[in-house]
Structure 1
Amino acid sequence: MSGDKSEKPTGQRLDKARKAGNLPRSRELVTALLVLGGTITPSAFSESLGRPLTGSMPYNLALIKQEVCDPKLAIKHLG
């Protein structure tokens, strides 16, 4: 198989690859950064997104029986 390497690259080859921008990346590092970003991003925006949602939820959850049974009234209620 041509993809398998039998010997490790020399220091000169590694230096040349670094200068060209070809840095080895650990899969664990990429995964850790994605998990960290996925955790921080929602918490950073939670207040600005949460306040409008909590204001509109009581109105949208307060459906009367006629609005639930009649699709036209439900659409009118939800806007």
Structure 2
Amino acid sequence: MNRGLHDIFNGRGIPRLDEHGNQKIFKGIEGEKWKCVLEWKVRLGNGDYRILTKQLPNGKTQVSFTDNHYNLILDVILK
């Protein structure tokens, strides 16, 4: 997970791709905090783990993580 985050913030993240080759956007449910955010792979070959990133209006990036296909999405605290 740490390496995946480091790679994303250094321009080497592994995007999850849709059937057209575009980076996947997590659709979520209406009003959900993580609706319409970018999906990233934590590492190649593991489809259960995902990192989600959301650009905030203040220019910062909000990050979350799931290891169970979105049943539980956990916020990541970066120091």
Structure showing greater Rg:
1
The structure with more helix, counted as a fraction of residues: 1
Higher relative CO (Cα under 8 Å, sequence separation at least 6) belongs to 2
TM-score of Structure 1 vs Structure 2, range by shorter chain = under 0.3
TM-score (norm 1): 0.18
**Greater share of residues in strand:** 2
